[in-house]
Amino acid sequence: MEAIGKVAQLVEDLSPFQIGTTGRIDGAGFMICGRAKMGWQGGEWNEWYLLFDDGSDGWLAEAQGFYAINIATEVPMQYVAPTSDVKLAGRLDLTLNVGQIVSLSNCQLTVVDVKRVACIGTEGELPRVSDMLTYILSADLIGRDGTYGCIEIHDRHPYAFIGRYVEWEELNAVNFRQFEGWS
């Protein structure tokens, strides 16, 4: 195995998820294999890496009690170009603005947030790892039907994801962490 990036080991937080948590969403079984803890000046959230029973992969984003399942999709190149709209350490810019309508996987989504984030720690297996505290430009998108999307620039490499927000019960999670006072 090759060291791709350097990040901090994570301490446990108050997430119910852990490496080895399994579940089922929309008929597809999954297992959590890794976690990236992301941070920005306003807080932190978890990105859990999922492997599905059919061999595909995806992510479970967990922030402030909200959950979103998403999978990689084609990057809409017309929205990623070197411009001066939003600078990322002078390297590559994301030409998206809050309120803008974009198309991801034939879905019309509205940009609701654009910010600089950093990976502040990881655990388990991940498909890629950014060097700790290297900034990533991230844009969150929402559709009228609850569709969730995200476009990110990692060291000049664009990535796009599409999925939806889900409720805890929809995940059918087992082997999760339990805390005193939970029913």
pLDDT means per 10 residues in the chain (183 residues)? Answer: 49 87 96 95 95 97 94 76 44 69 92 92 84 80 94 82 96 89 66
* Strand 157-166 to 66-73 pairing: antiparallel
Distance CA 28, CA 12 (A): 27
Residue 109 in tokens: 């989504």
pLDDT at 171: 97
pLDDT at 136: 87
List the Cα angle 79/67/64 in 5-degree steps: 100
Residues near 89 by beta carbon (within 8 Å), at least 6 away in sequence: 135
Q: Which position has the token pair 């019960």?
A: 169
pLDDT at 2: 40
CA distance readout (Å), 64 to 46, 67, 102: 10, 9, 26
Helix (H, G, I), strand (E, B) or coil at 169: helix
38 closest CA partner among 79, 73, 81, 68: 68
pLDDT at 75: 84
Backbone φ/ψ region at 14: left (φ over 0), alpha (ψ -120 to 50), beta: alpha
